[in-house]
Structure 1
Amino acid sequence: MNIAFVDSTEAPVGPGERPTTVVAPAIGNAIYAAVGVRMRHLPIRATDITLALDQARQKTTS
């Protein structure tokens, strides 16, 4: 791996990936708002949502 320093007049800031830390929680909150189940692990797959919905239904009928 090579690292190169580039002269710049821009202010030093963190890496460009920093804003992506809020994406997964936002998607998880949107899923909760839409269907009422919390997804607390990544990756969030459609099959995981279906399973969580099935489990939630079983809890309410028991």
Structure 2
Amino acid sequence: MVEAVVVELDERVRERLIRTAVSLKAQVRAVLRARIVLAAAEGLSNGAIAPDLAVSVNTVRK
């Protein structure tokens, strides 16, 4: 079984991801990716992130 990768973000990167995640002008793909990375940094598994963001586990896994 493959173990989840631990995602650690420094404060500067986290702030930029948060700005992207709430942006109304950013591309939808960038907003989704930012939300996925932020959730992973909080320690959530791919299986927990996917339903929260209404995407497939394969989307989160990429």
TM-score (structure 1 length as normaliser): 0.32
Task: Looking at secondary structure, tell me which structure has more helix per residue.
Answer: 2
TM-score (structure 2 length as normaliser): 0.32
Where relative contact order (Cα < 8 A, 6+ residues apart) is larger, the structure is 2
Larger Rg: 1
